[in-house]
Amino acid sequence: MGYQADRAAERGAPGVWFRPAVTAPVARDRELAALTEAAKWPPSLVLVEGVAGVGKGTLVAELVRRQRIEHWVAARRCDPSRHQTPFGVLVDLLSTYPRALGPLGQAAGAVGSLVPELADRLPSSSDTSAAAVATGLREVIGAMGRVTLVVEDAQWADKWSLRVLRAIVDDPPAALTLVLTYRPEQVGASGPLGPRSGRMNRTRIVVEPLGRDGVELLAAEVVGEVSSAAVDALWRRTAGLPFAVAELVGAMGDPAVLRDADGTSAEQALDRAPVPWSVREEMTDQVRRLSTAAASVVRAAAVLRVPVPAQVLCAVAGAEMIEVGRLLRRAVLVETGPHIGIRYPLAARAVYESMPSGERRRLHERALAVLGGEWPAHQLATHARGAGAVREWVRHGVRAAEEAMAAGDDDTALGWLTDLVAEPALPAEELARLVTILCGHGLRGGGHREVIPVLERLFTDQRLPERVRAEVAIGLGLLLMRAPGDLPRADIKIRSAVRTPGVAEAWSLRGVAIFGMPYLGNRSVEECRRWQNLVFERIGAMPRGPARTALLASMVQSRLTLGDASAADLEDLLPSAVDPHDLEHLEQLSRARCNLADVCAWLGHYDHARALLAEGLRGAASAPYVRSTGLGTEVRLDWMAGRWAGLAERAEAIAVANAGSLPVAGEMRLVQGWLAIAAGDLARAKKCLRETGMTDPETGVAPVVLSAIAAMTTLLLDRGDIRSACTHADAGVALLRHQRVWAWAGDLTPVAVAAYAAAQRFEDARRLIDQAATGIATLDGPFLSAALNTARAHLAAATEPPHTAASLYTAAAAEHQSLGLPHIAATLTERAALLGAPHSFLDLAKTYESLGAVIAAARCRHHARRAGTPVRSTRGRRGYGRSLSPRETEIAHLLADGRTNREIAETLFLSRRTVEDHVANILRKHGSPTRAAYVADN
């Protein structure tokens, strides 16, 4: 079955349901080929069988479309409420026949009274008996010549039409193709006409539900590309029935949310989507046609949600086992191993939601009683909640949350906990206990956006003691730290809560630890050290365990950043290993290692950072937020190391999955901004850099903000906008001087000095170099030292003889190369070469090209040409066809950025005529009539 949405007016605005239009089959090449081939060779009987919604109709619709080109084709769908009139289906089929008929016997006249549209082409007859009409219909069909007749849902065809069709099969017209679609569970394995095939070529085509790949293709056909996790969720809910897939996606308020959804967000988005009315109508019709006993079994299966043994299903429904057998034969229920349930979850949900609330509650009560205590806690909790049994709901719900935590599934655990604390009938003491658990585990998962509003409501819940509300405030503050723009609010929440008497020390110290983190907001070094010392004094008296490791995880990053301890000393404070079954302790140790890796990456200890990350990520599988921070650091390391292949896509995936978490998403936008600058995509670079938090440093993550300011300054210097570059440099330097955390000076200092030197602000440049030198003196930071030497080279280039600056650039390049930073090393080598150092511009161009820095590569080729070095042209050779040549690809990036031909020519050091030719080719290959259309599409 294939669906294809007309992506224009039929979809409408977000939030409006649209019904996908059925056009061509999707993922049905084998079935369509078999159907088309079988229909070619009359006389032929083609039987297309499959359960409801599997796509039989779309297959035969495509056949009709193809055959209509060659001969007359008629297709009719049987309706159980209408097509019980004698010969009703055949009358509908023949009434539209437009051509002259061949020779007819007198018996054909009996058809005229039923099909008046053909009366003027039939002999007259007064015999209108059923037997005469049946004979006449056979004669009329035989006189039509080459025709194809399609009867859909033949299981509902009237018995008189079926008799005629059986007679035709026994003695068929030579030019007839007869196609029947049907549901095998309603007519038997032989089909609606029985086992006979007469003298017709008989072909049986079984249409099965789509596999996962087919669901992916169909979803993409309806709404465009969707994520792998969304495909999995769709497949589970629909069992691969194309009708259900297309209708469910069509019922989404905004199907685009499935494009980048991870597992959790895909499940949530599909759960929020209403059951499509077409699926609801289909299931309502199925249940309506059942006996009272059979309908009760189907409703019980909908309440149970998951397949269960037949005995359990009957016990909940209060029905006999014979009813289950009948429902299986009719395919209303299906077997999954030894268990039985409704064919697909979306259908079960449709049945469940159509039931009166009283009946749902009664069946939940019976399910709870029948299942007892041996079934999984989440199932028992669901039935207890549906039955309104609060005590059992709390008992089983807590156990379900604990089981999810033990399995490392924090998102599921948080779902149970947030539902439990929202229960109005929850006793106060139970609420206090669950709130504490929710705060602790809310910090482990990645769903802080869902937890924050819950904690904000609980913060004012008067059922909770003041001590517990204070712990809620600390947990809320810790979560708010991750949300864009919420750092000031987090600070206020935590400061007021840590002073509350009776707050558990572990919670209080986790709150205090926040004030010792220099990278959040714009705290001074002195304030951070004061809080850090207070926490470390308490840590010294704590026994080894998860609470101590959690505090260390919060502190080691800050301690190393300020240079108050070495990485080795801090690692010695951490446990070398923990019980692998103690997930909380394992996750806190992973957090500590990932935090240390982050600081090592800023300082320039790249190999050690990767080793820490490898250990940290191994233990973070069940802690989504910790894992995201570690993966973010890994992406930044790969940017520095020149491992750029696929890096922008990796960064995008992490940023989208952590859209509400500025510490993670901001770092990914930073990497994407630097990459976009290297690729010459300046519009993209500016957009990404603004999303790092650089426009509001108080609410951002300081090292990311400083690096983003450095990137924006670089971009402006490359464009020759020295004044704006200095404005950004001044803002970054002011923040750096206020905080005096020189561990983050590596990206900004050399760029700011370059801006000052370009503006001839030499004293400002010297002052910054001197301050940075003093600031990093107590830090073990190889990258910081290399960056300081780069800054000195920039100043020398503006104030010293060329050979002096060239030697400084060459030394700084070697320093960066030894650290494994090829892109920075290449830019410094290029500067040295421009000042006369003996470096090959062509070799530099190759280095840049291998990284993906196309603008820099073009610049170096230009330098080589000016120096008289022969340069092989990179213009695309003939034979690229519709694809872009390498040079066209470079220009296309700049064209999409809105650059004029003159700007592109200046950037890539080409003639305007050459650029004009390339732009014309790009527009032609893309199919864009104008530059504006191309920019809009890209």
pLDDT tens string 84-138: 789 999 999 999 999 999 999 888 999 998 999 999 999 988 888 889 999 999 9
Measured CA distances, 450 to 270, 419, 497 (Å): 16, 11, 22
The token duo for 174 is: 């030579």
Q: What is the pLDDT of residues 330-341, one digit of tens each?
A: 888 999 888 999
- Stretch 634-661: mean pLDDT, rounded? 91
Q: Is the pLDDT of residue 6 over 70?
A: no
Per-residue H/E/C for 743-794: HHHHHHHHHHHHHHHHCCCHHHHHHHHHHHHHHHCCCCCHHHHHHHHHHHHH
Please list, in sequence order, all residues whose beta carbon lies within 8 angstroms of the beta carbon of residue 871, skipping any fewer than 6 positions away: 842, 861, 864, 865
The token duo for 542 is: 């704590």
Q: Could you tell me what percent of the chain has a pLDDT over 70?
A: 91
Q: Please classify residue 12 by burial: count the beta carbons closer than 10 Å to its beta carbon, then call 0-12 exposed, 13-18 middle and 19+ buried.
A: exposed
Q: Identity (one letter) of the amino acid at 600?
A: C
Q: Is the pLDDT of residue 819 over 70?
A: yes
Provide the strand spans (E) within 329-398. Answer: 333-336, 339-342
Q: How confident is the model at residue 448 (pLDDT cuts 50, 70, 90)?
A: low
Q: Which residue has the higher pLDDT, 423 or 367?
A: 367
Q: 514 with 490: CB under 8 angstroms? A: yes
Q: Over the range 776-805, which residues count as b (16 or more CB within 10 Å of their CB) and which as e?
A: beebbbbbbbbbbbbbbbbbbbbebeeeeb
Residues facing residue 151 across a β-bridge:
76, 180
Provide the strand spans (E) within 481-522. Answer: none
What local confidence, expressed as pLDDT, does residue 705 receive? 94
Measured CA distances, 420 to 360, 382, 424, 479 (Å): 20, 11, 9, 20
Q: How far apart are CA 493 and CA 555, in angstroms?
A: 20
Chain CA centroid to CA 119, Å: 61
**Among candidates 613, 646, 619, which has minimal Cα distance to 632?**
613
Q: Please classify residue 257 by burial: count the beta carbons closer than 10 Å to its beta carbon, then call 0-12 exposed, 13-18 middle and 19+ buried.
A: buried
Q: How far apart are CA 762 and CA 8, in angstroms?
A: 59
Report the range of poorest mean pLDDT among 439-443, 674-678, 683-687, 834-838.
439-443
Q: Which residue has the higher pLDDT, 83 or 182?
A: 182
SS3 604: coil
Q: 191 with 49: CB under 8 angstroms? A: yes
Q: What is the pLDDT of residues 460-499, one digit of tens each?
A: 888 888 888 888 888 877 777 776 556 667 777 777 777 7
Q: How confident is the model at residue 861 (pLDDT cuts 50, 70, 90)?
A: confident
Q: Which residue has the higher pLDDT, 36 or 663?
A: 36
What local confidence, expressed as pLDDT, does residue 19 receive? 46
Q: How far apart are CA 143 and CA 930, in angstroms?
A: 58
Measured CA distances, 58 to 25, 73, 76, 101, 183 (Å): 6, 15, 13, 30, 15
Q: Identity (one letter) of the amino acid at 562?
A: L
Q: Is the pLDDT of residue 307 over 90?
A: yes
Report the range of poorest mean pLDDT among 162-176, 278-292, 357-371, 448-462.
448-462
What local confidence, expressed as pLDDT, does residue 2 receive? 30
Chain CA centroid to CA 72, Å: 47
- Stretch 551-559: mean pLDDT, rounded? 89
What local confidence, expressed as pLDDT, does residue 212 receive? 93
Q: Is the pLDDT of residue 439 over 60?
A: yes
Evaluate if pTM is beyond 0.75.
no
Within 641-721, residue ranges assigned H as helices are 647-657, 662-679, 682-690, 702-718
What local confidence, expressed as pLDDT, does residue 222 receive? 83
Provide the strand spans (E) within 390-502. Answer: none
Q: Identity (one letter) of the amino acid at 426?
A: L
What local confidence, expressed as pLDDT, does residue 486 receive? 62
Q: Is the pLDDT of residue 46 over 90?
A: yes
What local confidence, expressed as pLDDT, does residue 725 receive? 96
Residues facing residue 930 across a β-bridge:
none
Q: Is the pLDDT of residue 7 over 50?
A: no
Provide the strand spans (E) within 112-257. Answer: 147-152, 176-182, 201-206
Pairing of strands 176-182, 147-152: parallel
Q: Is the pLDDT of residue 726 over 80?
A: yes
**Among candidates 167, 158, 166, 172, which has minimal Cα distance to 91?**
158
Q: How confident is the model at residue 8 (pLDDT cuts 50, 70, 90)?
A: very low
Mean pLDDT of the residues in the chain: 86
Highest averaged pLDDT of the listed ranges 11-15, 491-495, 691-695 = 691-695
Q: How far apart are CA 390 and CA 367, in angstroms?
A: 15
Q: Which residue has the higher pLDDT, 127 or 440?
A: 127
What local confidence, expressed as pLDDT, does residue 467 receive? 85
